[in-house]
């Protein structure tokens, strides 16, 4: 039995050595070396990097559409703009009048990313959520869209610009108020 006690004691001591080694390694991971305070990346909000603008549009005829979409954005870098948008669209379809006319007020908003390439081309990605009357479901619904595309940007000086975008709705469906692809004209006015 004494040989059994010796084997158990040796096994216990070896186990304790491995446990101690692992605890020391874990303690070192939880206590990383202190960083130099000068090397910290302190983000400072700069109002000169704010950009306000929007998109607007209208078409009249059998289908009437009036769109107002103010935007607010922030230039993360000189080429990368992120922002939010609010949206109101009045939509009326008189294609089958006087038998049937469809009218709805559409509300919503979303967020977008734009990246400028070579000072005049822009890549655009956007998520949008709209609330509208559904002709199919006969009730108000929330409809999400994901737009990707690009276009041309003309600088107006500083952080101000005018752009024309050609966007493709990845969630296009029968209830979407947009044609695919979508041509959008917009602007942004920088505060600097």
Q: Which residue has the higher pLDDT, 16 or 91?
A: 91
Q: Rounded to whole angstroms, how far apart are CA atoms 68 and 182?
A: 15
User: What per-residue confidence (pLDDT) applies to 8?
Assistant: 47
Model confidence pTM above 0.75: no
Full domain range(s) for residue 19 = 2-37
Inside any domain, residue 176: yes
> Which letter, b or e, does each residue of 65-74 get, where b requires 16 or more Cβ atoms within 10 Å of its Cβ?
bebebebebe
CB of 84 closer than 8 Å to CB of 110: yes
User: Do 27 and 54 have their domain in common?
Assistant: no
- What does the mean pLDDT of the chain come to? 81
Q: Are residues 144 and 78 in the same domain?
A: yes
Do 99 and 176 lie in one domain? The reply is yes
Report percent pLDDT > 90 for the chain: 38
């Amino acid at each position: 039995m004494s040989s059994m006690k010796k084997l158990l004691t040796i096994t216990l001591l070896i186990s304790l050595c491995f446990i101690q080694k692992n605890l020391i390694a874990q303690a070192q991971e939880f206590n990383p070396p202190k960083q130099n305070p000068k090397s910290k990346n302190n983000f400072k909000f700069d109002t000169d990097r704010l950009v306000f603008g929007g998109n607007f549009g209208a078409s009249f005829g059998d289908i009437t559409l009036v769109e107002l979409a103010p935007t607010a954005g922030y230039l993360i870098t000189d080429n990368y703009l992120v922002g939010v948008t609010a949206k109101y669209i009045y939509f009326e379809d008189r294609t089958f009048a006087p038998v049937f006319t469809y009218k709805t007020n559409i509300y919503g908003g979303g967020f977008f990313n734009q990246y400028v390439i070579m000072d005049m081309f822009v890549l655009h990605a956007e998520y949008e959520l709209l609330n509208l009357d559904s002709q199919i479901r006969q009730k108000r619904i929330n409809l999400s869209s994901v737009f990707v595309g690009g276009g041309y940007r003309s600088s107006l000086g500083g952080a101000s610009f005018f752009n024309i975008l050609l966007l493709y709705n990845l969630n296009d469906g029968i209830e979407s108020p947009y044609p695919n692809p979508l041509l959008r004209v917009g602007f942004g006015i920088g505060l600097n």
